[in-house]
Amino acid sequence: MFNPQSRWDRPTPKAKKDLHQAIEVAALFSPGKIKPLYLTLNKQRYEIERINYFWKDYRGALEKLYCFSVTSGANIFNIYFSNHSLSWRLAKIE
């Protein structure tokens, strides 16, 4: 029996807090390393207590994204830095 809810072409639901918005981040840059210290979102400062994960991603041949999953209090933020635009973005809040 055909189940219309399991169709492959049906759009997948997005997380409500999947944002990709520009944010302000204070970070230390040293040879081969980036360490975010705090981020500012909606005029509120969140101290980064722990870096959970770090990975690199690519957009095309030129843009490299330095991605971080960080913890601040009870919040987990996924943020990334673009070497192309030299800007930080918030990808997701969990």
Q: In terms of Cα–Cα distance, which of 50, 83, 53, 49 is closest to 67?
A: 53
pLDDT of residue 45: 97
Percent of the chain with pLDDT over 70: 81
The token pair that represents 79 in the structure block: 């943020």
Can you give the pTM of this predicted structure? 0.78
pLDDT tops 60 at residue 49: yes
Structure confidence at residue 25 (pLDDT): 98
Confidence grade of residue 28 (pLDDT, cut at 50, 70, 90):
very high
Which secondary-structure segment (H or E) carries 61? none
CA-to-CA distance for 55 and 81, rounded, in angstroms? 11
